[in-house]
Structure 1
Amino acid sequence: MDTTQLAVRAGTPVAADPRRWKALVLLCTANFMVILDSQIVILGLPSIARDLGMTPAGAQWVIGANLVTFGGLLLLGGRASDLLGRRRMFIAGTALFVVVSLLSGLAWSAEVMVVARALHGVSAALMAPTALSILTTTFPEGAERNKALAGWSGVGGIGATAGLLVGGGLTSGLGWEWIFYVNVPVALVMLALAPVLLNESHDRERRRGYDVAGAVTSTAALVLIVYAVVEAPKAGWLSGQTIGLAAAAVALLVVFVAVERRSAAPLVPLRILRSPALVGGNLVTVLLGMLAVGLSVTISQYAQQLLGYTPLEFGVKQAVMPVMAFVGAYAGQAAVTRWGYRPVAAISVVLMGVGALLLTGVSPGGGYVQDILPGLLVFGPGLGAGTVAASAAALAGVAERESGLASGFNTAAFQIGGALGVAVVSTVMVAQAAGPDPAAAFPAAFTACVVFAAAGLALALLLLRRSARR
């Protein structure tokens, strides 16, 4: 227990850390870099595959390897920060990020590249939930935390667009190696500032014990879930591979629950799952991830395949969505502070659903202003406000000693949702493209996003009933 906690228990007023807003800039930078790196690779993938002699299936694992390790290790990374120290794990993840960025840029074979991207997922699984955990322990629940979460969410959206813009420019100008080298100086600055701006904190009341069985079973289950989802469009949703992987993941989760019930020092204290806000917030986050990533993938393919935009042109035109998401995030944090997270989450998914509905009217002969812009203008604010509301719900009332675990849950929820969203819209587009009207694939995929929004609205109304104004 740190001195702040002791002072609170003693009833002594605690002065706010004057470094907290500078620390927020550092933490948001970490989130920005994790998302930027994931997006920037998408544009560099064709050049990487060509230079390293990768097959189309092998090239997809440049992205898939990162998804599997990132999604699979988030829960473990978040809990490790609670036990071993949040600042310490943040620094460790950032240091590994520097190493794997250099290794990715220097990759001399397809195998080295895939291994480097898998290790990048490990570094991101340490950085992202640990940074969010430090944010929640630095800013008390209420207005200040909501503002901090708005910055976190808004910067994440900007990172996604910056990846499209920077990736196209670097790949065309300097070569694909530089989409990885650009990470190094920023990460080195983060390493230098972390000991200065971030306080160390961890669960000092908990005896230093490690739930090895819980860590192995939960991580293996998450890896199998992500792998099954990533491979489902190619293997088939009802194929033996997909069903077998899903069944194995469920079996591991059952074993995990049994292990946690008997463990003296469980990785996940099961009582934390009794919180309706935590469960509801994370389930809504899954749907937000499905919407955000599923719609982004669909609109990217529509703009480049049917409208003929270059990656750089699309990145510039699509930038309106993260800008509106940033605006929505700050409006959303004020609304959450005043009205609670249930109404804000509900209104947000409605806006996202309406934005997706507007995009169902796209056509091969369409244009940016009439077909794309209206949907982005409506979808963006919903995404920003919804992310703040869902995160605020998922992290509300969580004890500081378990903030890393709760942050791991929330980050994993969005990543798993994103993987699901890509898998579903990809399946819909492939099925429609094989029919008499291949161009119908894009309206069908946007319709799937409308269905995601309807499910998100139902979850927000049913599971966030107990949210209260803060």
Structure 2
Amino acid sequence: MEVTMRRKQIILLVASTAIFFEALDIAILNLAIPLMQKQFHLDAETIQWVQTVYVLFYGGFLVIGGKLCDTIGRKTIFLTGASLFLFTSLGAGLSGNFILLTAFRALQGLAAAMVMPSALSIITNTFTEPAERNRSISIFSSFAAIGSGCGLALGGIVATYLGWQWIFFINVPVITVALILAYRYIDKDVISKGNRFPDIISSILLTLIIVLVSYVVHNLPGFSKNYLLLSSFTAVIIAAWLYFMRRERTQQQPLIDFSLFRSTGTITGNVITILLGAFFLSYLFLLSLILQQNMHFSAAHAGLLLFPFSVLSFLVSRYVVPALFKKMTVLQTGILGMCLMLSGSLLLMISIIYDHSLPVILLSIACVTGSGMSVCYPSLTALAIRDIPDTQQGVAAGICTTSYFIGAGLGLSLLALGMQLLTSATDAINHIPVLLVSCFALPGVIWLVWVRKKIC
């Protein structure tokens, strides 16, 4: 019994470590972006692709990653995804040009889409007792929250004193150890012969569509110079979308079961989650540039400034959110969270107008990263899955996560488009890009208020 418990603890540590670095990898990049921008001599609109491709590939392949766990095996997918994550981390750190770095980041997103669902599947199948399973999932989720929180501070410190390349290199030794332990301790896969192989073609089509949409949106200001290329990509998008929808209607096991989207709550939860993803990563992107380019903070200084708000986010998630769910409906909690997001962006805009007032910026960060995200994400996920049958809630939650990452990638592209059209070519960020980010949160607030009578 003691050996079995020790084995379970090692498996939990391995899975939690993997999800820690997956969450870390999104957050850690934000404060290193200005240093990458400086080295590669790129504008703010172009450098955002290093984050955009990661979240788009992550979101595009996340659902298929979960389904592959059932057909190929959760251990096999975990080892494959973690190995790819290790290889791409090393490749990203060694990249000598921006195109190569972006390619490795895209593959990192694919690797994360394999690691996340397989790690969760390993935990739920290792810990079978309800109380034990709930505790292990709670620990697993805490590692994800800690990874996201530490990334902001750690990314700034590592990038300042070791170079931006080391935000990728730090993954290598830890993931290597995790791979060895996973191979040694995770049980062999037992695969049911009755499982159908998932529709990988639809997953590739979905990812192709969202990446091309992001590219076309980003390059619209130069349409007159590249009209043949952009027109061709638009035609490919339309053709791929029509083929994707046809496949989804004819497949026995479609990638996305659109019959799940019958209730107002499910539609609302996913649509607002798309807006949340667009808002949050765009906000962090601008915040990093404002702190380092406008206010001339070092990446380390900016990271240390943001770290207390990561602690605040953890405390809000742990103590405040459960209390809110007891006193308010899921919809009311979602409205509160989106109002915090909108308030944070408006405060950031006001701080820029009034000579970068630090107290106002700190209040903005408290609204968004310190509390708003912790309130929004669980409430919108709960809203998206509450009308779904118990047997399909896992799939619905995966689709909601996919919505978040797709929104994040498209949001960064729309922000880049707005910055090209409405701002001058200067290193400093003015209030207009922040106003654009606010436009992601405002429709979310309006939508939630509008449907409150339809969702009891």
1:327 equivalent in structure 2 = 315
Q: Which runs of 5+ in 1 are unaligned?
A: 1-16
SS of aligned partner of 1:376 = helix
- In the TM superposition, residue 438 of structure 1 has moved relative to its aligned partner by 9.8
Q: Does 1:360 align with 2:360?
A: no
Indicate if the aligned counterparts of 1:356 and 1:450 stay in contact, CA closer than 8 A. Answer: yes
State the alpha-carbon separation in 1 of the partners of residues 326 and 184 from structure 2. 30
Aligned to 1:375: 364
Report matched runs for 1:213-362 at 5 Å. 213-229=201-217, 231-232=218-219, 235=222, 240=227, 245=233, 248-274=236-262, 276-330=264-318, 331-336=320-325, 339-362=328-351
Contact kept, 8 Å, 1:74 with 1:412, in 2: the verdict is: yes
1:35 corresponds, among 13, 16, 23, to: 23
2:365 aligned partner, one-letter code: L
Letter in 1 for 2:351: V
- Kept after mapping to 2: 8 A contact 1:49/1:59: yes
Query: Residue 389 of structure 1: CA displacement?
Result: 1.3
| Aligned partner of 2:196 among 208, 218, 242 | 208
Runs (5+) with no aligned partner, structure 2: none
- Cα 1:384/1:235, change in 2 over 3 Å: farther
Separation (CA, whole Å) in 1 of partners of 2:72 and 2:283: 38
Query: Is 1:102 matched up with 2:96?
Result: no
Read off the aligned partner of 2:408 and give its amino acid letter.
Answer: G
Once the two structures are overlaid, the 10-residue window that deviates more, 68-77 or 292-301, is 68-77
One-letter code of the match for 1:258?
A: R
Q: Give the Å deviation of 1:119.
A: 2.1
Match of 2:381 among 381, 387, 391: 391
Report whether the alignment pairs 1:413 with 2:368.
Answer: no
Return the alpha-carbon distance in structure 1 between the equivalents of residues 185 and 338 of structure 2.
35
* Corresponding residue number in structure 1 for 2:80: 92
CA distance in 2, matches of 1:266, 1:106: 39
Q: C-alpha displacement at 1:386, in angstroms?
A: 0.7
Quote the residue 1:13 is aligned against: none
Q: Does residue 1:116 correspond to 2:104, yes or no?
A: yes
Change (3 A) 1:98 1:467: farther
Distance of aligned partners of 1:132 and 1:444 in 2 relative to their CA distance in 1, 3 Å threshold: farther
Rounded to whole Å, the distance in 2 between the matches of 1:447 and 1:141 is: 46
Describe the shift of the 1:206–1:242 C-alpha distance in structure 2 as closer, same or farther (beyond 3 A). farther
Q: Quick one: structure 1 residues 214 and 66, their matched pair in 2 at CA, closer, same or farther if it must change by over 3 Å?
A: closer
**Following the alignment from structure 1 to structure 2, what is the Cα–Cα distance between the partners of residues 424 and 146?**
40
Match of 1:423 among 397, 404, 413: 413
- Say if 1:273 and 1:243 are closer, same or farther in 2 by CA, change over 3 A: farther
Q: How does 1:18-167 map to 2 (within 5 A)?
A: 27-44=15-32, 62-107=50-95, 112-131=100-119, 152=141, 156=144, 158-167=146-155
Letter in 1 for 2:162: L
TM-score (norm 2): 0.78
Per the TM alignment, residue 348 of structure 1 is displaced from its structure 2 partner at its CA by 0.9
Pairs aligned (count): 446
In structure 1, how many angstroms separate the alpha carbons of the residues matched to 2:121 and 2:270?
A: 15
AA at the equivalent of 1:434 = S
What is the CA deviation profile of residues 223-272 of structure 1, one whole-angstrom value per residue up to 9, with x for unaligned ones?
Answer: 3234445x347646998566764564344233222222222343333333
For 2:264 and 2:191, how far apart are their aligned partners in 1?
A: 23
Q: Structure 1 pair 30/41, CA: closer, same or farther in 2 (3 Å)?
A: same
Give 3-state SS (helix, strand or coil) of 2:254's partner: coil
**What secondary structure is seen at the aligned counterpart in 2 of 1:360?**
helix
CA distance in 1: counterparts of 2:454 and 2:187, whole angstroms: 33
> Aligned partners of 2:18 and 2:130: how far apart in 1?
22
Query: What is the letter of the counterpart of residue 284 of structure 2?
Result: S
Opposite residue 372 of structure 1, the aligned amino acid is: I
CA distance in 2, matches of 1:191, 1:446: 41
Secondary structure at the counterpart of residue 458 of structure 1: helix
SS at match of 1:456: helix
In 2, the alpha carbon distance for the partners of 1:374 and 1:277 equals 31
Rounded Cα–Cα distance in structure 2 between residues aligned with 1:383 and 1:265:
33
Cα deviation, residue 158, structure 1:
4.7
Instruction: Give the corresponding residue for 1:14.
Output: none
Counterpart residue identity of residue 418, structure 1 = A
Question: Residues 463 and 199 of structure 1: is their aligned pair in 2 closer, same or farther, counting only changes over 3 Å?
Answer: farther
Letter in 2 for 1:361: I
Q: Give, in whole Å, the separation in 1 of the partners of 2:450 and 2:189.
A: 35
Query: Alignment RMSD, CA only?
Result: 4.4
Contact preservation (8 Å) 1:281, 1:464: no
For residues 104-159 of structure 1, the C-alpha deviation after alignment (integer angstroms, 9 at most, x for no partner) is 334466665444333212211212344456678879999x979957973x655653
User: Structure 2: how far apart are the matches of 1:373 and 1:264?
Assistant: 51
Cα offset, 1:183, TM superposition = 0.3
- Aligned equivalent of 1:9: none
Tell me how far apart the structure 1 counterparts of residues 264 and 341 of structure 2 sit (CA, whole Å).
24
Q: 1:146 touches 1:392 (CA, 8 Å); kept in 2?
A: no
Deviation, structure 1 residue 323: 2.8
% of aligned pairs identical? 26
| Per-residue CA distance 1:401-425 (angstroms, 9 max, x = gap) | 7566445423322222222332333
Sort the Cα spacing of 1:281 and 1:88 in 2 relative to 1 into closer, same or farther, 3 A. Answer: farther
> In 2, distance between residues paired with 1:455 and 1:238?
33
Relative to structure 1, the CA distance from residue 370 to residue 115 in structure 2 (aligned partners, 3 Å threshold; closer, same or farther) is closer
SS at match of 1:301: helix
Q: In the alignment, is the contact (CA less than 8 A) between 2:11 and 2:186 conserved in 1?
A: yes
CA deviations on 1:200-243 (whole Å, 9 max, x unpaired) are 899959532443543443343233234445x3476469985667
Displacement of 1:316: 1.5
Amino acid at match of 2:438: V
